[in-house]
Amino acid sequence: MWRKIRQVGSIKFLALLCILILIQLIKIFVDFKAVTNLDGPGSSAAQSSSNSVFAQETDFERILAGAAKDASGKYYVNRFYKAEGFSLDLESRDITLVTHTTVDRLAELVSLATVWSGPMSVSIFAPSTDASFADDAIDGMRLCWPVLRDTVTFHLIYPTDFVANMTEAGSFAYLPCKDITRRLMTFKSAMQTDYNLINAIQYPHNLMRNTARQGALTEFILHLDLGLTPTPNLRRNFVKFAAKNGLFETNETSKNTANVMQTSKRSIYVLPTFEIRSDNEEIRTKRDIIRSLEEKNSRALMQETCWFCQKPTDYDRWQELDYNAEQEAESLDVAYSVPYAKTWEPFFIGRRDMPLFNEKFTMYGYDRMVQVCDMRVQNYKFYVLNYPFLLYHGYRTKARMTETERRLRENYQLFKEGFASSLRESGLVSDAYKEC
């Protein structure tokens, strides 16, 4: 009798085991379907793919899953791509550098992360097989430059018409760092090599900026377009400035500061931004940049391409401030306030709850101006910092501008009227916005 009972028990155990195995097989199959395209050559999906500028010769492609559409429905956003968790040392009382890029400029992140040496949040535009390169590059950069592994989070964005295709991922496997560096430096995006794609895809500047911004976990944010470099001590000295003036307090304003306005939650800290002629010139301090300006080797950002976009920062006043080398190395402060001005496009530090970029604005020049306009409507105040600044390597010239860009930038009145028209078309028609 006991033998029969044991036999029955064994049969039940085997049956249960078979059921569990079947469940696991079904789950694996479902997960596999989620990340692969198994449509046959006669299916509508396959026909759509064959008409794409990224059409593949095979019917089997690995497709990146796990993304959500943006508000417009035109792009997929994959936040915290390949995230490896967050460090236990992560401190909200800090400042995150947020930026965005295409895959052909990923190499620039290495030097930027080294100078910043703190939290960064980066949006990567990666349509179709560009995503394969982005996937490999993230792994390669983390392997070769630990600062990127420790401090940088990535977010992938790509059009719904050209979804991220991971077919070519894995090309960096077992490569030494020198070869990874070479690939990062020489890779060309499909948007550079495929003429059909150049006209088919629009780079969503403000979606890229907002996604990177929303990936920041610190109290303060520094928004930069890739290509700009901050002075070496900016992050450390701003954190000291914020702590000293109570900017990390939860109250609306600090009770420990003599100037409540400068430390209000609606304060923006502007960084003067310069173009330098030569990559060989080493500029680390304010004294360096003033000398370079005097020698005509540097100038204010966009001085040739949009003189009115940076003028409100008042560069002459900034250069004439008293200078103390020891103080610059260890601290920073507010130098002076500036009023809002139409067509102003400053780079600045602000709190993570400052207005986002309006993603409806895509036209050259207007995409950043609308955020500053929103700040003006919400009564933000603008303060220029005394020592830190940003650098852009190379002069921006009219020769690199399109005819439309040149026509807008050269005519101040036309530029203002065009922006006002864009505000109305976006539904921003209140009296407050009329001042922009």
Q: Where are the domains of the chain?
A: 2-37, 63-205, 229-434
pTM above 0.85, yes or no: no
Q: CA geometry: angle at 193 spanning 190 and 198, to 5°?
A: 75
Which among 19, 211, 196, 175 has a CA at the least distance from the CA of 101?
Answer: 211
CA–CA separation, 86 vs 69, rounded Å? 25
193: its two tokens: 């090599």
Q: What pLDDT was estimated at residue 216?
A: 95
Q: Where are the beta strands (DSSP E) in 203-285?
A: 220-223, 228-230, 267-271, 273-276
Calculated CA dihedral for residues 216, 219, 225, 229, nearest 10 degrees: -110
Which among 247, 215, 238, 274 has a CA at the least distance from the CA of 393?
Answer: 274
CA–CA separation, 72 vs 207, rounded Å? 10
Are the C-beta atoms of residues 204 and 157 closer than 8 Å to each other? yes
Which residue has tokens 């046959």? 40
Where does 145-262 have alpha helices with state H? Answer: 146-151, 177-186, 190-193, 195-200, 205-214, 234-244
424: its two tokens: 């109305």
Q: CA geometry: angle at 97 spanning 92 and 100, to 5°?
A: 135
Q: What pLDDT was estimated at residue 134?
A: 96
Q: What pLDDT was estimated at residue 432?
A: 72
Q: What pLDDT was estimated at residue 7?
A: 47
CA–CA separation, 135 vs 413, rounded Å? 45
Are the C-beta atoms of residues 76 and 69 closer than 8 Å to each other? yes
pLDDT digits (tens, 9 = 90+) for 264-296: 789 999 999 999 987 767 899 999 999 999 999
pLDDT digits (tens, 9 = 90+) for 163-180: 888 888 888 888 999 999
Residue 361 has a CB neighbour count (10 Å cut-off) of 22
Residues of the chain whose pLDDT is less than 70? 1-65, 87-88, 250-263, 280, 363-365, 400-414
Task: Say which amino acid occupies 304.
Answer: E
Q: What pLDDT was estimated at residue 1?
A: 45
Residues 6+ apart with CB under 8 A from 16: none
Are the C-beta atoms of residues 130 and 190 closer than 8 Å to each other? yes
